[in-house]
Structure 1
Amino acid sequence: MAKRNAQTGDKVTIKKYANRRLYNTSSSSYITLDDLAAMTREGTEFEVVDAKSGDDITHSILTQIIMDEEANGKQMLPVGFLRDLISMYGNSMQSMMPQYLEASMANFRANQAKIQEAFKQGLGNNPLAKIHETNMAMMRAVGEAILPGAKDSEQSAAPSQNDEIEALRKQMAEMQKKLDEIDK
């Protein structure tokens, strides 16, 4: 949820002057694009207006912040996505894209919060663990159907795994000997 100006409860207004300086009217101080990026990450709601005309230029300033982040090696937007996004300009679907992207981002944030909460509670009591258990049970059932003797006790399975590992080690040792002979 976006934070509002603590004093007035309104959006923080940032004025952009002709000399490209940004002035935070709430704190009565000049700020940078990095400060605006930090405010965005903190959830502070703000608007950027052109000091001379009064036009709302928030969109272009946010786009500039994204461009700066992408240029500084913090690339998050894949080239394919950028190409698709550019191709949507002038397309009949252009008017639908803002709502679609906002809905997609809201869905992403909701799922992100659920996943983070699941990890906080531990994997034992969450849907991810249950899905994992179901998948493992299905794999065991398939294994038993394909290999009828696969349901043997875990104790008898362990030695066979050790035998397989030992056989692989021997094969690797033999291959290494052959490679050493080739080098000579």
Structure 2
Amino acid sequence: MPRRSSRQSILAFGAAIGLSISSAFQPAYAAKDVALVSGAFRRSIPVSDLAYLAETNKARGFLSDLLRLGKQDPKQVAKLLNQKLELPLVLTSRLMSTRIGDVIIRRVATIIYPLKVPDPSVSVPAIRAGVINGLQKEDGGLSLITFLEAYPANVMEVNLPALLSLIEKAESIADLVKFFSDSPLDGLK
């Protein structure tokens, strides 16, 4: 058993180094759009519009219409986009390679994945790469914007029914933000 654990640690460390080196020498890929999908309905929001909202607290384009129709305060959404999770890079990389990490990523991969490719063999590595590259960019912290800017597909699809199911489990957006910002990893740094 110890041999397997050390092999997994070496593989996780090697993967993190490989991602670091490959991202340094290859052109950077980032999500340009977030596609909101429900059945036959699909509408895209440019990541640049989300970044603009995060910086200015002002929505533009389709995002402005969407927030108005959903009766959402742009300042609250900007706060959510800027919410930063403090995560150590190496520990996060290792945890994502554990069984628990894999289960969590696979659940997230049912909600977000590269456009029209919900297969876990593609979506799980894309999420891992987005997290690791985003943490490298933000030096120990990860926000939704840095994740999107590090996500290795041009369009990230968001499965709205799956997302709404997750949101229903939380009493409010504030509870959801609190859930994701109260890091259980604080004691492991």
Q: TM-score range by the shorter chain?
A: under 0.3
More strand by proportion, 1 or 2? Answer: 2
Q: Which has the larger radius of gyration?
A: 1
Higher relative contact order (CA 8 A, sep 6+): 2
Query: Please, what TM-score do these two structures have when normalized by structure 2?
Result: 0.25
Query: Please, what TM-score do these two structures have when normalized by structure 1?
Result: 0.25
